[in-house]
Amino acid sequence: MKLNLRIWRQKDAAAEGAIETFELDGVSPDMSFLEMLDILNEKLVGEGTDPVAFDHDCREGVCGSCGAVVNGQVHGPDTETTLCQLHMRRFRDGDTVQIEPWRSRAFPVIRDLVVDRTAFDRIQQAGGYVSVDTGSAPDANILPVPKPDAERAFDYAECIGCGGCVAACPNGAAMLFTAAKVAHLATLPQGKVERDARVLAMVTQMDEEGFGACTNHYECTAACPKGVPIDAIATMNREYLRATFLSKEGV
């Protein structure tokens, strides 16, 4: 299979980027998208050209490291699929494929398709954890959790922090990511002790990072490779209103 690749190239954060075109032949339909980029980079290195920089790690759809906009779609044309799990059988011989990095003020481009997503780390560090002393690991059934709550928490915990929600949102909002982390812990009894401080700290950090506001486009959940439900945002909003009220009341 032969492809015409249009890829965003940018030397560093300070440089101006531009789309460059490459022709790549011999692409197998069974290759993953990142394997196709590997083949391209081998070709570029052999020609004495700098390879295309892109993020990756596990290549199993687990770590959330990979990510790019393919023909205008976050992670490519498949739903609930990370870029590394997208296969070239979704394209046809002779297709033109345009590949661009995430576009967000809070995710500045470092090089080519690599963006700085440490804003997510800082949001997580602001309160997305449980720090109370719970002692040694208890038996699995010693702390009863209603099945609906457990399933809902698992749905929220699916978030891998890839940033696709931000790239898909017209406003560059990080509401789905932040909400998934807040709602996951707020749903479980272990996380309820710090629920108020957590949501206030994480939402404040999210705003300070320069992400846009949520205006209910629902593009975030549509692009999410793990299908994190949109009701996570409603849960976070309720948690935030509750914590704000209690803080004003001095409770």
Query: In order of start, what are the domains of the chain with their CATH numbers?
Result: 3-110 (3.10.20.30), 118-249 (1.10.1060.10)
Q: How far apart are CA 202 and CA 73, in angstroms?
A: 28
Token look-up 């687990």 returns 62
SS3 90: helix
Write down the pLDDT at residue 132: 75
Q: Which helix (H) or strand (E) holds 111?
A: strand 109-111
Please tell me the pTM assigned to this model: 0.93
User: What is each CA distance from 104 to 164, 166, 169, 212, 213, in whole angstroms?
Assistant: 11, 7, 9, 9, 12
Write down the pLDDT at residue 250: 65
- In order along the chain (251 residues), what is the average pLDDT of each group of 10 residues? 98 96 97 98 97 97 97 97 97 98 96 98 94 71 86 96 97 98 93 94 97 96 97 97 87 57
Write down the pLDDT at residue 19: 98
